Amino acid sequence: MSASATGATPDHAGSAPIASNLDRYLDAASGLPMSAATQEALNAGWNLGWADASRRYQSAAQSRRLLDSARNSVAHRLGISAAGIFFLPDFEVAFELALSGFTDHQVAVSTVEDAALLREVDRHSHQGARVQTLDVSPSGHIDWKTAAALTELGPTAFVVQDVNLEIGCRQPLESLAQAAGKDAALIVDARATLGRDQVTADWDVLLSDPRIWGGPPGCALLAVRAPDKFTAPRTSVGGFGGLEPASPPVPLVAACALALEAAEAQESDTAAVSTYLRTEVLQRIDACEVVGEPDSSFITMFSFLYVAADELIDELAQLGWSCASGASCTSDTRRPHHVLTEVGASSHGSLRISLPPGFPHVQAEAFAADLTAVVMKLRREAGAPSA
């Protein structure tokens, strides 16, 4: 959205150093705090967008202008009509709504999707939908040729992440879309890319969580490329396009859009630091491997032999580092560590690293040194064999 709509100014690339509370934060895939500009937009939104946008008086018109501005801003970044941009209360609600728009399709879902999405697909199956499971390679990638062949059984809605939030692998969605053709619909989870990296152009429905690009909680994005052809039976009464709540939280929506502007304006500089960190850790620590994508610009999953993941995370936290383990994408006890299991990796000693924009190289050096010391300490305490 235009920053002038709320009176806030986006943080542009190079305009400010990384926040001091993020220089030891390596869990950006779980979310980022709001920047000063986003907080300013949120505060302005409470002042300017407090009224019910469906009403006909002046303050309601101001709320509508904020909503329209936010919708247009996000639509511009995705290259679609603003009529296809919807703001929902949370990510799971957005996915449930997306899936309900394809009741006449069989559903194909990869085994490394987020646990919450897999639960919703399970529920969809229990209601009578035909569900196909897409196995993945040891690097986490689907076989797009095998997947595309499913359309021979009928129209298919594919549920696939653009980039996996746990192991960083980018799925071959362009190849899948081209091979599957008009009988395929792609429901794409773009949480790992929107606001951070190039988003695939091959999607029919796209979902994301603004918290990951520094937006406020309480709002999720659902984008539909052809809204005139999308019919979801579980619709809201009176909301935009029949999909949004009748009274969306205008301040949250405005802040989410401005945060996306700021995130995309900020120079993406984590790839080089991520590469350095991977290389340094693999050189320093024996019996260590990278799981999934070996050269991801955002997410790296390490696995350390003879180390317990929880102990590793706790020891690093004692030193002030914020990291996640291989269970970062699920709290579902029915599918513990399901992504690592599907790619044949051990969940013991798993460590997911995802750097915030602007993460300093010097901090990557410090983290590599601390991580090495912690792994060595835990291995000694466990009586692990020496290298």
Tokens 């700021």, located at residue: 262
Task: Enumerate residue ranges in the chain where pLDDT < 70.
Answer: 1-20, 234-238, 267-268, 327-336, 387
The 8-class DSSP code of residue 106 comes to E
Sign of CA dihedral 44, 80, 224, 266: negative
> How far is Cα 338 from Cα 189, in angstroms, rounded to an integer?
17
Measured in residues, the chain has a length of 387
Residue 15: predicted pLDDT: 42
User: Taking the model in full, what pTM does it have?
Assistant: 0.90
> How far is Cα 186 from Cα 173, in angstroms, rounded to an integer?
8
Residue 64: predicted pLDDT: 95
Q: In order of start, what are the domains of the chain with their CATH numbers?
A: 35-265 (3.40.640.10), 270-382 (3.90.1150.10)
CA angle 261/301/219 to nearest 5° reads 35
Contacts of residue 4, defined as CB under 8 A and 6 or more positions apart, other chains included, come to none
Query: What tokens were used for 278?
Result: 């991977």
> How far is Cα 11 from Cα 19, in angstroms, rounded to an integer?
12
Cα–Cα distance list, 270 to 71, 277, 328 (Å): 28, 10, 20
Q: What is the pLDDT of residues 182-207, one digit of tens each?
A: 889 999 999 999 998 888 899 999 99
Residue 268: predicted pLDDT: 62
CA dihedral 231, 237, 243, 244 (to 10 degrees): 180
Residue 363: predicted pLDDT: 96
Q: For the purposes of burial, counting CB atoms within 10 Å of the CB of 11, is it exposed (0-12), middle (13-18) or buried (19 or more)?
A: buried
Residue 191: predicted pLDDT: 96
